[in-house]
Structures are given as structure tokens and as C-alpha cells.
Structure 1
Amino acid sequence: MNAMQEAIVIGGGVIGLTSAWWLLDAGYSVTLLERDAVGMAASYRNGGQLSYRYVAPLADAGVPLKALQWLFQEHGPLRFKPELDLRQWRWLARFLANCNGAANARTTATLLELGELSRRAMGELGSVVPPLAFGWRDAGKMVVYRSPSAFAAAVARPDADDSRQVLSSAECVAMEPALAAAQPLLAGGIFNQGEAVADCYAFCAALSQQLAAHPRFKGTVRADVHRIVSDGAARIKGLDTSAGPLAADHYVLAAGIDSRDLAAAIGLYLPLYPLKGYSLTAPIRAGDCAPAVSITDFERKVLYARIGDSLRVAAMVDMVGADTTLDPRRVASLTRQVRQTMPQAADYDHMTAWAGLRPATPDSAPIIGATPYRNLWLNVGQGPLGFTFACGSAKLLAGAMRGAPPPFDWRGLALR
């Protein structure tokens, strides 16, 4: 890149904000475009886990049968509502095509590389956004198993760097006393150092402040994008927004699930579907036995993370379209599970609930990089691992835009 070029990043969540930062670092001048305040959509109250090594795709052999079983469980992690929308069925068909061991292994290998890049990139930000500003904590991660067969299968799975600790149910409680009430239900657990927890919204707010202070940052425009305007060939001419027309040399689409419709209007199909997830946030009082370790309840697909003075619990995959309303039945179900598993962890009487849409691809691999339009770039589809993958995805994107050699074989992340 010779003369300084301008980029507009569409989307002010954790993916858009990190994209803006790494583009500034790469020498671009940057404008951020967001309809609301930054970090208020899928980034607002997500699970808070930074799970760089636990990146297994949702699609795997045996998952379709498990999904059918979950649909008939009162507290099952999955809900499905058929839509009269071809995009839902097209996504499901591609998801099922990826439900095999070979596809899962290929995608997992790529996501592990992206996770490691993201871990290093988050570390690079430490001098710019102090970890204390967003509650970052190297908590380590424990995955607990209720089923002896699921636990045995997890233990038998090869460990890339032999760093995990395999724990009995008693050892799980010794390491994390918050699990004491659940011990009779646990077959065991696996613990890994190096996994962290943090407040994604606080990270977005802190990074937004640093962006505003950067000399090449041209500001945040609060507006809706009505459409992306192409020249009818292979170039984007500008954006039609509620704040008027905007133009730049390059455009980065990082608008979560909204990216799907914006891309479709210019003939690009993005295989994204909004997986609705729920979170609960409860204050931790003096005397509560809140977990210090980040915990995942494997069978129930429930995540627990202590973020500052609050317990964050995240769970569930609802395939119900672009609906962010709180389903009281789902909230009540999750609340019951949390009270049963960790009854003394927090003040559940003052708990608040939230739901957000996680833009997921059928194979769980995000879509990063070039499009058929030579000045339109993508950073979408991180699904439930948006916070985990944000910094690595942004670094990959900035490198691709300036033509730098990729740090690993990331062809699996390209638009196909």
C-alpha cells in the first residue's frame, strides 16, 4: 500500500472494532459505521469466555441425532422453529453436510490456528487496552462431564500439547468448590490453563476510546446502511446510509447477521444464520461461592464465567430466526439449571437476562477476506466465538488487505 487509503468498517461490535484497530495499525485511515452504540448487539452480554483451545465446530458426526434428542428434552440446549425462509433450510443442509469427522477435523485444525493467533493478538493489545479495563482474567477453563461415556471419549481424544489435567469429580470440586452441589452428578472434568474470561462489552468500550484517540481514525458514524452501492462490475462505489452517502477506497463488512442482507443486495450469498443465545448475569455478594475457574457443563452446553463482581452464565442455541426477544420459558429453564448446579454462587434473585444473535456459518468457520468486489472485504460468521476470534480475525483481515503473507493456511476461512 503506497498512499494512505481510507476504509469504512460496517459494524461496531467486537469484530468491527478490532477490524478498525488493525486497519489503523496497517496504515489505513478508518471510519466506523454503526447504527447503535458500539458493542450493544451480540457483543453486549455474551458468555465472556476466551476459549482459544476449545474451538470444536458445532457440526460433527453424531450431532444430528443428539439434536433430535435435545429437541425433546425439557431443558435441552436446542430449540428449532421452522421458517418459510429458504436461507434457514439452505444453512441446515450445509450444516448436515459438515456433520462428519473429516470435515470437523479440517475445520478444527484451522480454528485452532485462528485461536492461537487471536490469543497472541489479544496480548499485543495489552499495551493499548489494559486488561483491567475489561476485566480480563487468566482463569483457566474446566469442562465438566455428567456422562461417563462422554468423559471417557474426551479423555481418549488426543491433546495437542499434553497440557490438560484430567480430573475426577472430587478433584473438580477440590479445584473449584463452586461445583460442590453438582459433584454427585459429575463423571469428571478436564482443565486447561491459558483460557481466559473478560467482559466483551467493556472491551468494546475501551477499544472504542483508543480508536477515537488515534490520529488516523476519522470517527464513528451513527447510521443505518440502507444498501451497498456497486458499479455494476467488480467495485463498490459507496454506501447509501441514513446519514447520507459515504464513500471510501475500501469497505469491510463486519455487521454480524445484518451482513447477510447487505451482501445479498449486491449478489453475494453469505451462509450465515442467527443462532440465538441467552445469558444471565447475577451479582456476587460477599460470602457467595462463585467459581474462580471458567466452567463449561459439556452435556448441558452451559458456560459459567466470573466477570468482575458478577457471574455470567451463557447457554442455548435457538434457531428461531432474527428474534432477540426473551422467551420466559428458556430463561426460567436456564435459571433452574444454574440454581441446581451452583446454588450458592451468586445472588440469583437479582439476576438479569439477555438474548443475542450469533451469526454462524454451517461449518463454524468465520468468513474472512476478499470478495468478488475488489474493494469489499468480509469479517463475519464467528458465531459463539466472536470474542475469542476477534483479534485474530482482524489481524488476518488487515494482512490480507495489504497483501501480507498469511500466518497459516487459512483457505478454509475464505468466501466459498
Structure 2
Amino acid sequence: MQHVIVIGGGVVGLTSAWWLLESGYRVTLLEREEQVGTAASFRNGGQLSYRYVAPLADAGVPLKALQWLFQKDGPMKFRLEADPRQWRWLLKFLANCNSAANHKTTARLLQLGELSRQSMAQLEPTIPLSEFGWRDAGKLVVYRSKSAFDAAVSRPESEDVRQVLSAAECAEHEPALREAQGILAGGILTRGEAVADCYAFCKSLERRLLAHPRFDGIVRAEAYSFVTQAGRVTGIDTSNGMLQADSYVLAAGIQSRTLAHSAGIYLPLYPLKGYSLTAPIGAGHVAPEISVTDFERKTLYARIGDSLRVAAMADIVGEDTRIDPARIDGLIRLARATMPNAADYSRISKWAGLRPATPDSAPIIGASPLSNLWLNVGHGPLGFTFACGTANLLSQLMMGKPTPFSLDGLTLR
């Protein structure tokens, strides 16, 4: 029986481990934190956006980004680093900022989104949706400017599942937006999207892994580097010593680029720093039942259980996980202005995390230049959305089976 070490205990690593177990592999999980799901998976936005995908790189984004940098509470903050990886990533990102590249990536991600939706459904008999607060909420993307709204309406993606709404209709469908309808141009409602608690999902999946007969357990250790010989990985050096297996799966978030570098592999990943706040919902609050995304402010609002999750920002500031009080204050101001009565904003929990993104927003799945090292990285802000789908694809690739669609653009290039 083939033994695989999966490196990374976030939602991508956990789903990878599960699909490999179900495919007949013996699996060990390597995770540096005391608990699984405590990095980028911990308090992300909670949206499962299978049918509405919007790669960050697009025509006009460089100009918008310059404007965002001068906005007090803008969705992006930039800090130049003395790190060639940042410059290299930015150059590739700029090369993808055109309509042709955006449409091509969007088409890939829609296919991946549908597979991910189906793959999550396959898990339901094993993990009841109620364990992690799943709701088929739908997703409403609202637009403040008429030009942005008109451009979105003209796009053909997901035409069969979306509904174009006026500002008044947005407030009718989602009463939490009543105070904001005067500043909205309209919105697009997509059915079939969901919200859930990613951390609770990780914990539920961990319990199933620990009970699986082929699971060899979780090694709590820091991964330092790969040891390679003759085009193969022969081991991984960790704080608990050398670990060895037949194959290795790299799914360690932004740490993946450093570990890959130790094996002579360049991964085009950069950490986009995101923030979230979680506020309790009381009896008198009007919290959103539909998952809402404010397109221009790049902010999402999702009801998760009895709390409101507000998440935003894609700061390009390196591997800095510190919480900037000014960014949180800006997020609170925006939430109060957009949904003033949605939750108790005086009792928030703060979070910041690093989303490992590729320049074109497409994850990297499958083989690496080393014959027994496999990749499942680069999901950016859509790790929860795509985790089940990429884990499914990875298991098929490792078994030599055909995939349900071409992975052109979703592999290491």
C-alpha cells in the first residue's frame, strides 16, 4: 500500500488527505500548528462561490489598484519588499491583467467550481452539513457604480443561474441592504452558492481522518526542507526529524513556496493578506441571509451561525500576519455604513491571514518536476470553495486516472 505524507493541515491539506485515503492510500498529515485549520482556513469569508468567480487580474485592475492605494480604507495596501519573489509575482500578475486572460481563467475556475460543488456533496453522507453551519444562501454581488454594474451584466458567465436586480430589488431580496440601496446601482444574485464555517469543516474532517483505518495520524512538526536525489524526494526534514514516504503532497499554503524552493522548484505564489471581523447577531439585528459581496469595496458579508462575518482586503505586504488596527477600523466603518444594523459591531473578533495566490488566481494541481512530489497549492481567497474539487482531481492524477476536464492552466507551468 502506497504511503503518502500530506504537508499542510488547512482545508486544502485535509481534503487532500481524505480523498487519498478513500482512493486506497495510507496517509500521514504533517502540520506545524497545534490545531488544524488555524491559518488561512480559520476565519476566512466563509463563502463557497462555485458559480461566481472573479479572478483578481483583469483589464483595468492596475489603474484601480493605484486608486485603492490612495483610499483611506481601500481594498488594497502595498509595501515594496526587497524580495525578488514579490517583483516576479507582480510582473506575472500585470501580464494577466487583460480581458482575454481573465475570461480564460474564469472558464477554468467555473469548471473547477462545479466539480468542487459535486465533490462537497459527496462528503455529505460522511460529514453532515449541519456540523459546519452550511447554508444554501445564494450570493448577491452588489455594485455601487453604473459602469461596473453594466459591465458585470454584459458578461455571459453563469447566465442560467443568475438574476439581475435593481437597487430596490437588492434590498427587497436582502433586507440588510435597505440602508444602502441609495448608494447601489444594482446587483447580481447567483443561486446555488453557499456559506459555511471553514474552521468547523476542518475540525469535522479531522475527526473523520483520525477514525479512518488507513490514516497514520498527524505529525505536529515544522517542515524545514525536502531532501532529494535522482529526481525524487527521499525525505522531508522536520523539527521531529526526517520523515519518509513513497509520495508527498505539498498543500502548506504560503509555506509551500519555501518548501518547494528547497527542492529546486519555483512556485509562483504570493501571500495576499486578508482581514475579517466576526460580530455577534442579536435578536434585534437584521443580518443578511444571502451572502453579499460589495464589488467595488471588495468586501463580503456572510451570516455564519449566529455571527456575521465581514471579510475584505488583499494587502501586498509580504508574510506579515500582524493585525493592523487601522485596517480593522476601516472594515468596521465600512460595515457600519453598509449594514448598520446587521450585528453588534462593538463586540467583534479580529483576524488576519495570508491567502497564497497565483498571478492569474488559478490554483496549481498535480505533478511537480520531482516524480513523487505532488502539488495542491495557490487557491488564494477560494481555498474553501475549491478544496474538495482540487483534492478530487489530485487523487485522480496520482492514480493515473483521466480527469473530468482538461487541466490546462491548472498545473505547474
TM more than 0.5: yes
What residue number does 1:298 align with? Answer: 295
What residue number does 1:409 align with? Answer: 406
Matched, 1:123 2:121: yes
- Cα offset for 1:57? 1.0
Superposition misfits of 4+ residues, deviation over 4 angstroms: none
Question: What is the distance in 2 between the residues matched to 1:69 and 1:166?
Answer: 28
Deviations 1:22-63 (A, max 9, x none): 000111000000011100000000000000112221111111
Match of 2:153 among 152, 155, 161: 155
Matched, 1:111 2:109: yes
- Cα offset for 1:266? 1.3
- Cα offset for 1:105? 1.2
Match of 1:70 among 65, 68, 89: 68
What residue number does 1:372 align with? Answer: 369
Question: What is the distance in 2 between the residues matched to 1:55 and 1:401?
Answer: 27
Q: How does 1:360-399 map to 2 (within 5 A)?
A: 360-399=357-396
For 1:204, what is the secondary structure of its paired residue?
helix
Greater alpha carbon shift after TM alignment, 71-80 vs 202-211:
71-80
Q: How does 1:131-210 map to 2 (within 5 A)?
A: 131-210=129-208
Question: What is the distance in 1 between the residues matched to 2:174 and 2:62?
Answer: 33
Matched, 1:316 2:313: yes
- Cα offset for 1:162? 2.3
For 1:127, what is the secondary structure of its paired residue?
coil
Deviations 1:366-387 (A, max 9, x none): 1110011110000000000000
Match of 1:26 among 23, 26, 29: 23
Question: What is the distance in 2 between the residues matched to 1:327 and 1:229?
Answer: 37
Q: How does 1:11-50 map to 2 (within 5 A)?
A: 11-36=8-33, 37-50=35-48
- Cα offset for 1:402? 0.3
Question: What is the distance in 1 between the residues matched to 2:131 and 2:162?
Answer: 29
What residue number does 1:354 align with? Answer: 351
Q: How does 1:239-258 map to 2 (within 5 A)?
A: 239-258=236-255
Question: What is the distance in 1 between the residues matched to 2:160 and 2:3?
Answer: 45
Any unmatched runs of 5+ in structure 1? Answer: none
Deviations 1:274-328 (A, max 9, x none): 0000000001111210000000001100000000000000000110000010101
Matched, 1:96 2:98: no
For 2:124, what is the secondary structure of its paired residue?
helix
For 2:388, what is the secondary structure of its paired residue?
helix
Question: What is the distance in 1 between the residues matched to 2:195 and 2:122?
Answer: 17
Question: What is the distance in 1 between the residues matched to 2:310 and 2:281?
Answer: 13
Deviations 1:134-175 (A, max 9, x none): 000000010011101111111122244422111111111111
TM-score by length of 1: 0.98
Question: What is the distance in 1 between the residues matched to 2:161 and 2:80?
Answer: 42
Contact 2:52 2:158 survives alignment (8 Å): no
Question: What is the distance in 2 between the residues matched to 1:159 and 1:259?
Answer: 32
Any unmatched runs of 5+ in structure 2? Answer: none
Q: Which amino acid aligns with 2:155?
A: R
Question: What is the distance in 1 between the residues matched to 2:396 and 2:162?
Answer: 32
For 2:77, what is the secondary structure of its paired residue?
strand
Seq. identity, %: 69
Q: How does 1:43-62 map to 2 (within 5 A)?
A: 43-62=41-60
Distance 1:42 1:266, change over 3 A: same
Match of 1:222 among 220, 223, 227: 220
For 1:290, what is the secondary structure of its paired residue?
coil
For 2:346, what is the secondary structure of its paired residue?
helix
For 1:59, what is the secondary structure of its paired residue?
coil
For 2:234, what is the secondary structure of its paired residue?
strand
User: For the aligned residues, what is the CA RMSD?
Assistant: 0.7
Question: What is the distance in 2 between the residues matched to 1:154 and 1:377?
Answer: 36
Question: What is the distance in 1 between the residues matched to 2:165 and 2:10?
Answer: 37
TM-score by length of 2: 0.99
Q: Which amino acid aligns with 2:283?
A: A
What residue number does 2:281 align with? Answer: 284
Match of 1:270 among 267, 270, 277: 267
What residue number does 1:80 align with? Answer: 78
For 1:77, what is the secondary structure of its paired residue?
coil
- Cα offset for 1:244? 1.5
Contact 2:51 2:158 survives alignment (8 Å): no
